[in-house]
Amino acid sequence: MTISKTNRLSLVEQVVSQIESLIESGEWKIGNQIPPEMDLIKQFDVSRNTLREAVRSLVYAGLLVTKQGKGTFVKSSSALGVAFQRRIQQSSLLETLEVRHALEREGAQLAALRRDQEDIEQIRIHIEACRKAAEAKDRKAYEEADIQLHKSIMGSSHNDLLIDLYEHMEDSLHASIHQIAEMSSDANFHLNIHCNLVDAIIEQDVNRAIETVNEYIAQFKKSLV
């Protein structure tokens, strides 16, 4: 049996791999600017051309983004996330809602089972922000608080893969929540149903948490008709 020799990674590929590890580990966080070029040249012990080629490769892959006059920033935590975001952008609002339904139903169920006191405090902070925005009739603030509430519920699931998938949907979540708010005439429904969901999670009522998610997604779908 003949075994083929494995090819060694080129210097560029090695730098790409190391940068990906820094991003995936969270050492380089999404939205943050990457270190200065000279610092990276010293850190990776490579030439300027090698570093720049590696950075260009990651920009093309969607993990980094270069902003004219500002520098290069971390855009996504993984190539899979980039592909997922691009696919979501091509989806209809109904398709996005259906995926939200699947993720949020599982997230609510796990949150009701696994939430701890710190999770409860975070969820309460965001539902209170929703309540204040609703009272002030500040739609933009409400939409942002709504997204943060759902993310805190997902965080309470303590399932890292589920949390990552939901994070990659954030842009589409903004769009779907905005469109739904524009079409809906019952602002109180949004707040009340989310209060019910929060109560169910805090009380560890799994069935009620699932039913609440089913209810608000069903209502959102009706608004599309």
User: Of 32-41, 63-72, 80-89, 132-141, which range is least confident?
Assistant: 80-89
Domains along the chain with CATH numbers: 11-77 (1.10.10.10), 81-222 (1.20.120.530)
The token duo for 87 is: 């696919």
β-sheet bridge partners, residue 67: 71
Q: Give the model's pLDDT for residue 6.
A: 39
What is the pLDDT, as a whole number, of residue 23?
87
Tens digits of residue pLDDT in 113-145: 999 999 999 999 999 999 999 899 888 898 889
Question: Is the separation of the CB atoms in 214 and 102 below 8 Å?
Answer: no
Asked whether residue 71 carries a pLDDT value surpassing 80, the answer given is yes
pTM (predicted TM-score): 0.66
- Each residue's pLDDT tens digit, 12-46: 989 998 998 898 888 898 889 999 999 999 999 99
Q: Answer whether 64's CB lies under 8 Å from 28's CB.
A: no
Mean pLDDT of the chain: 84
